[in-house]
Amino acid sequence: MWQRIQTLYLAISAVLIAVLLFGTAYVPVGGGEPVRYIALQSPWFGILLGIIALMIFIALIAFKVRILQMRMSTLSALVALGAQGWLAFLYFTMEGVVFKWTVIFPLVICISNILAARGCYQDQLMVEAATRIRDSRRKRRR
């Protein structure tokens, strides 16, 4: 499991999504002290990040089912891209919000999951080629 590169990419994504789930932005309220804002305080954004985390977890444990792993990686990359769009929308519409550098994590998760899906696809092609070679050798023996 850990010897495949896509597992490393998915593990990086899992760590980043965990940091993003509990990461903070600081919102100044009424000109006073900034208030700590956690992503889980917004229920819809927390649900979105939970869905991404669930898909990454499924992709991590489905290392023997390459097609499922590839589809979960691709789907979680698309959802992470949507989360990045949501954060960009919040950035441009809310006034006085100071985001930390963790705001780019969905984009990094998206890139990492695309690379993981690519690794799954390359593994699947390699297995199909080995199966095709094995089948052709069996036919020659007969």
134: confidence class by pLDDT, cuts 50, 70, 90: confident
Average pLDDT, the chain: 84
Specify the CATH class of 5-141 in words.
mainly alpha
Query: Given this model, what pLDDT does residue 1 score?
Result: 55
Supply the pLDDT for residue 23: 73
Average pLDDT over residues 85-114: 84
Sign of the alpha-carbon torsion through 96, 100, 105, 107 = positive
Domain ranges of the chain: 5-141
**How is the chain classified by DSSP, letter by letter?**
-TTSHHHHHHHHHHHHHHHHHS-EEEEE-TTSSEEEEEGGGSHHHHHHHHHHHHHHHHHHH-TT-HHHHHHHHHHHHHHHHHHHHHHHHHHHHSSS-EE-GGGGHHHHHHHHHHHHHHHHHHHHHHHHHHHHHHHHHHHHH-
pTM above 0.75, yes or no: yes
The pLDDT tens digits for 42-60 are 788 888 989 999 999 999 9
Residue with tokens 């991590």: 60
Task: Please tell me the least confidently modeled range out of 36-40, 64-68, 69-73.
Answer: 36-40
Separation CA 115–CA 23 (nearest Å): 24
